[in-house]
Amino acid sequence: MRFTRILSLMVWVAWALPVEARIELPKFAAKQSLENIRFMTQDGRYTYSQKRSGALSMATSFKSVDVLANPPGTNYAVTSSEARRKMVVEVESQWHQNMDLNKINDIMVGAFNGVKFEKVGKGRVPRLHLDDEWLTWFDPQEKVIHVQFLRTPDRHHVIRLGKKNNGFFFPEVVMLNPETILYTDINDKGFSALLAWNLVEKKMTVVRKSEVSGTRLELCRRDNMIVMGEFSYDDTNRGTTIMVQAWKDAPRLGGFTTVYRVSDNDLGQMICGANNKLWFVKTMSEDRKLNIRETEAALMEFPSGRITVKSELERVTNLIDMDGRILLPLREDIFVLEGSPGSDSDTLKAPTRSAP
């Protein structure tokens, strides 16, 4: 409650943004070719890589083993969660030939750092929830969210999304508890909404509806905090709002407190990081006539609400959380915002000499 009260004091329209002097972000480095890497643990001990043959391999301790074999041209997307119990692989065939934005891929699940993966369904954007016991993914062709309890294959639910004006919409999904799923949707008039689906009652509740059309909602959860951001789509010029719900005992439907509201059209791409941190892409300047923006990575810390600009690259578009490493991909470079930058050295550490 106290946390929430502090958050409510943070709605500053004119935000003083400290920029760290001369930010030079380290570039991510690895022993393998970066373009082939699909996942690397934070300690760098396990690396999943794409092979030209179409296989996905896992390398550790100078050993490499193929964990999935598919025809050439197959691409893999590998994710995990902060629980670090399971990993999910999305298998995309004919990566460069099949340019269908709504294509559905095989979703495979395995143990964290594991080598065995089993297919659980077909769809896109798989997400692990609640200590990696639950998995959700989206089928953009059928417009349904699939919810799977991983310990019991029979516990499978679907949530059907509404008819919408954007045929390329992908929802954000967060599980509050084993009964309740928060997800985003837009209606046929272009209004976004945060909805809750009760798996037991099979009932939908509207948690929050956007006041204006042309915005998109982003959701992320970390520990006892859910963050919801409302951002403008492209040039819709609706400004930015970030809302937070923090709880001690149990999360609630609703109960979001606005902590940040600006007329800037921030890009968003939120990541809820460890230690009450929210990473997002902030718009630093904007030519609204020509729709040209300068964007940087920004960090909002809770409960202080302090925002710090963390990059000086001018054209940041995406942020990625790879096993707790916060990365900023830009063209052929990957910059590291938080976590180890890795190493491209093959030199073994010399054994520590004991004192004579």
Q: Round to whole Å and give the CA distance between 124 and 106.
A: 8
Q: Which of 8, 53, 165, 343 binds other proteins (CB under 8 A)?
A: 165
Q: Which of 131, 211, 314, 344 binds other proteins (CB under 8 A)?
A: 314
Q: Which stretch binds other proteins (CB under 8 A): 128-136, 198-206, 272-280, 322-330?
A: 322-330
Q: Which of 2, 167, 202, 350 binds other proteins (CB under 8 A)?
A: 167
Residues in 3-42 that interact with other proteins by CB under 8 A: 34-40
- Other C-beta atoms within 10 Å of 20: how many? 11
**CB of 255 vs other proteins, minimal distance in Å:** 25
**CB of 292 vs other proteins, minimal distance in Å:** 4
Residues paired with residue 245 on neighbouring β-strands, in sequence order: 226
Residues in 285-304 that interact with other proteins by CB under 8 A: 287, 289-293
Output the CA angle 18-22-26, nearest 5 degrees: 110
Residues paired with residue 180 on neighbouring β-strands, in sequence order: 177, 198
**CB of 22 vs other proteins, minimal distance in Å:** 21
- Other C-beta atoms within 10 Å of 49: how many? 22
Residues in 171-190 that interact with other proteins by CB under 8 A: 188-190
Q: Which of 125, 196, 262, 307 binds other proteins (CB under 8 A)?
A: 125
Nearer to other proteins among residue 207 and residue 334 (C-beta): 334
Nearer to other proteins among residue 38 and residue 208 (C-beta): 38
Provide the mask over 93-122, with x wherever binding to other proteins is found by CB under 8 A and - wherever it is not. Answer: -xxxxxxxxxx-------------------
Q: Nearest CA to 43 among 27, 25, 57, 61? A: 61
Nearer to other proteins among residue 19 and residue 77 (C-beta): 77
Q: Round to whole Å and give the CA distance between 296 and 355.
A: 49
Q: Do the beta carbons of residue 127 and residue 175 sit within 8 Å?
A: no
Q: Round to whole Å and give the CA distance between 285 and 24.
A: 20
Nearer to other proteins among residue 246 and residue 262 (C-beta): 262
- Other C-beta atoms within 10 Å of 97: how many? 7
3-state secondary structure of 328: strand
Nearer to other proteins among residue 199 and residue 328 (C-beta): 328
Q: Which stretch binds other proteins (CB under 8 A): 56-64, 128-136, 176-184, 321-329?
A: 321-329
Residues in 226-265 that interact with other proteins by CB under 8 A: 231-237
269 binds other proteins (CB under 8 A): yes
Q: Round to whole Å and give the CA distance between 75 and 95.
A: 6
Q: Round to whole Å and give the CA distance between 9 and 194.
A: 24
163 binds other proteins (CB under 8 A): yes
327 binds other proteins (CB under 8 A): yes
Q: Round to whole Å and give the CA distance between 119 and 129.
A: 18
Upstream peptide bond of 303 is cis (omega within 30 degrees of 0): yes
Nearer to other proteins among residue 289 and residue 353 (C-beta): 289
The DSSP bridge pattern shows strands 225-232 and 240-246 to be: antiparallel
Q: Which of 9, 12, 20, 141 binds other proteins (CB under 8 A)?
A: 141
